[in-house]
Amino acid sequence: MSGTRRTDEAAGALILIGGACSARGEALATFVRMAHAEDGGRIVGLTTASMDPTGSAVAWKNDFAIAGARNTEFPIVDRRARAQDDRIAEKVRTADGIFLGGGDQVQLVATIGGSKVGNAIREAYHRGAIVCGTSAGAAALTETILAGGEPDESGTAIDMHIGPGLALLGFHSMIDTHFAERRRLHRLFVAIAGNPELMGLGIDEDTALVVQGHLGAVVGAGGVTFVDGRGVRFDNADEVKQGGQLTLSYLRVGIVGNGYVLNLRERELEALVRAREEGEETPSVLGEEARA
């Protein structure tokens, strides 16, 4: 069965957007282009994560029309029963592109995870569909999701949630979105300190990490920060849970800009991985040659 294949062996691609994507921006345009939506490729969108799924669906249909998509459909999947609807699952399974909008990633995973619609997303991805998520929609696509861990709009502290996601993106990764704009580096540090085997991916707004196989290319207005906790020699993650200040040593952090490629297996710039494989002490492939 295709569902048992490794995530980096899927025939499709993932487009992970950090939220606030412009209808005319490079991040959304990349999804439209890869799904052949300008030529009639069919996009099925889900606004399950939103507090107003119907209103969000209307807004996204308009944005996709501006972006040049000619054939979009947004079935409303606002509860578990609809996630088990065979007709909606079939629409998703046969789509050229699947889009997951923003909102609450915990709600999204709870509603469609393990459902017929959720399974259809995975089947479509392994078949070759392009799966795009923005904000919560991107965060939900990893094996492990991150939510909370910062004050809400009223200033009330929200406990950090770390739990299972939809697992289309492997590599023991975790995604944080609106990254630079909401100053979430510290939140991701705390999450990785408590789960040092994971790799954190902080994606800026209107920016996408386009993943094909084990390589992720950055496109759009910002960058992608990666945080690798495997080499951490000291952390006080347990104290932080009790309100203490975070202390970490030997945490690897990097930033990948527009046009550069991250090797998700190696947790390193692909240019540096290639240079190492070729035995170069200092990679001459940097600069323009390092770009996607």
- CA–CA separation, 45 vs 97, rounded Å? 8
**With contact defined as beta carbons under 8 Å apart, do 240 and 225 qualify?**
no
Choosing from 50, 115, 205, 270, the catalytic residue is 205
- Which stretches does DSSP call E strand in the chain? 13-17, 43-46, 72-73, 97-100, 130-134, 144-147, 161-164, 173-176, 199-203, 207-212, 215-220, 224-228, 234-235, 248-249, 252-256, 261-263, 268-269
Between the CA of residue 17 and those of 81, 105, 129, what are the distances in Å? 28, 14, 17
Sign of CA dihedral 102, 106, 109, 112: negative
Choosing from 135, 173, 214, 270, the catalytic residue is 135
At residue 207, the 3 state secondary structure works out as strand
Choosing from 178, 181, 266, 268, the catalytic residue is 178
Residue 178 designated active-site: yes
At residue 89, the 3 state secondary structure works out as helix
- The overall longest dimension of the chain from CA atoms, in Å, is 57
**With contact defined as beta carbons under 8 Å apart, do 229 and 246 qualify?**
no
- CA–CA separation, 191 vs 180, rounded Å? 16
**With contact defined as beta carbons under 8 Å apart, do 17 and 219 qualify?**
no
Residue 205 designated active-site: yes
Half-sphere exposure of 161 (CA within 13 A, CB side): 14
Catalytically annotated residues: 135, 178, 205
